[in-house]
Amino acid sequence: MLSREVREQMKQYAHAHCFRKTAQWMQRNAWHRPLAFGEEQLEQAHALHDFADVTTPNAYLLNKFLHTLHEQSGVFLPHMNINPICRRDYEAYFARERLAQGLALRIPLEDAVFGFLENGIEVREWTAPGLLETLKQAVAEEDRAPLGLSELLRQVKHKKEAIRLYLLHKASDFLTEGAAMTGSLGGSSGPLQCSLLRVFMDEYGNGSLERKHSSLFKQAMASCGLETYPHCYLEDYLPSSLMMANYFHFICKSPRHFFQYLGAMYFAEATTTCFFEKLTAAFKEALGTEKMDLSYFEEHIQVDQRHREIVLQELIIPAIEAYGDSILQEIYVGFECFRRLAGCAAADLAGQIRFADDVLGGRQPPEPSAAQPARHLVLHGGNRAFFPRIAETALHLELQRGSLEFGVGTGGFVTLRPGTRVAIPQGRLFRMRPEQGQDCELRSLPLS
């Protein structure tokens, strides 16, 4: 359990106007960040134990808080004409009092989310050549491995929706690409600082808005019919999407993790070229004659070959020469942590794509035989504000009365009618509310 003091601070923080529930499927401004967790869930908040813990309501809660407070140090200017509602969110999100609360929560929540990450990573007596060989071999293995998403895209019926779902989850990081990295650029780290800055400049398009990686990602999203302003899909982000974004804020804002950051960055930069080659091939196969903008991916296939060399030749090797063997294990830990985290996020996303495909296809599950006693829920039609949920255990829902708007992480919803049954696997994110004006009655069967 988190300490009582931390849980109290979380409650106070979440109380602010800008953290209220939303009544929209998409967020209108980047300062309204719902944190409407139940009192009981906040009372039970506890540190994550392992990767199996990442797809739980508790991990969702911790990562959502962390994402919200990390981004209080980022400049988010409106994409639209600012109105009084947005202005109130802006003022609440960046109020000095809220910044102070966010700063006080940052370290305990980072510890709660990332404390387990190093568990099980072997401690070795590294030599520099041994470490470099191990890293290169691991990258080569990643490059050779088939892409799970390719097979998944072949299997699902709603291929375009699956691609949209992939993009909108990556938007948690890619629409503000490079933002976390700013945390590692300050101070004085000699030639390493200059090499880091060269990577950073590429991320920011060397000062050209059109070439900025986040701009290229916007083009990919827009070409698939998605909105592109930062965090409009906030309420559809999975815990693992938030955690990936949080991880880079965590290691970049912590100078003590600088060498871990180099290891993590090497994994990210060195594996992207092959990964995106496989991904773009999978997108093209899935879309057939339909087109999407692939400039973001094509740019990375090129530029990350250079970044891979910069990270290895200008950052990792010179750092080892300058600071000795004591940093070898740290570089390895960063590399391994990020490799494991990326694997966990890929599995989470694949699970959500499968779930979304079932619901969008109207697949009706059979009546469960071994379920716990049913719970009856009434959702009031006048209540337009809602909040995402992560299924703690597998659930079987049956709509008994009314029409229900049901979202599965794709930025929108399907309308369910009475008699519809939905199977929700453990860890899946969903959002639901009654169609305007009508009460809904649901029968919920937890399967565990």
CB of 304 to Fe ion, least distance (A): 5
Please say which residue, 178 or 402, places its beta carbon nearer to Fe ion: 178
Please say which residue, 32 or 339, places its beta carbon nearer to Fe ion: 339
Please say which residue, 142 or 203, places its beta carbon nearer to Fe ion: 203
CB of 275 to Fe ion, least distance (A): 12
Distance CA 66, CA 63 (A): 5
Tokens 């099980």: give the residue: 120
Please say which residue, 35 or 310, places its beta carbon nearer to Fe ion: 310
Q: Looking at the DSSP assignment, which residues form a beta bridge with residue 432? A: 406
CB of 307 to Fe ion, least distance (A): 4
Q: Is 122:319 a contact under the CB 8 Å cutoff? A: no
Q: Is 385:322 a contact under the CB 8 Å cutoff? A: no
Distance CA 12, CA 30 (A): 21
Please say which residue, 203 or 314, places its beta carbon nearer to Fe ion: 203
* 402 half-sphere exposure, CB direction, 13 A CA radius: 21
Q: Looking at the DSSP assignment, which residues form a beta bridge with residue 405? A: 415, 433
CB of 300 to Fe ion, least distance (A): 6
CB of 296 to Fe ion, least distance (A): 8
Please say which residue, 9 or 271, places its beta carbon nearer to Fe ion: 271
| Cα dihedral value 88, 92, 95, 100, nearest 10 | 180
**Interacting residue ranges for Fe ion, rule: CB under 5 A:** 203, 213, 269, 304, 307
CB of 151 to Fe ion, least distance (A): 26
Alpha-carbon dihedral sign for residues 115, 116, 119, 125: negative
- Secondary structure (DSSP) of 223-270: HTT---STTTTGGG--HHHHHHHHHHHHHHH-GGGHHHHHHHHHHHHH
Distance CA 242, CA 179 (A): 14
CB of 297 to Fe ion, least distance (A): 10
Which strands make up the sheet holding 404-407, listed edge to edge? 389-390, 429-434, 404-407, 414-416
Please say which residue, 111 or 298, places its beta carbon nearer to Fe ion: 298
Alpha helices in 94-158 (DSSP H): 96-114, 128-144, 148-155
Length of the chain: 448
User: Which amino acid makes up residue 120?
Assistant: G
- Helical (H) or strand (E) element with 397: strand 394-401
CB of 261 to Fe ion, least distance (A): 14
Q: Is 317:308 a contact under the CB 8 Å cutoff? A: no
Angle among Cα 117, 122, 126 to the nearest 5 degrees reads 120
CB of 277 to Fe ion, least distance (A): 15
Please say which residue, 218 or 307, places its beta carbon nearer to Fe ion: 307
Please say which residue, 56 or 172, places its beta carbon nearer to Fe ion: 172
Please say which residue, 102 or 178, places its beta carbon nearer to Fe ion: 178
CB of 381 to Fe ion, least distance (A): 45
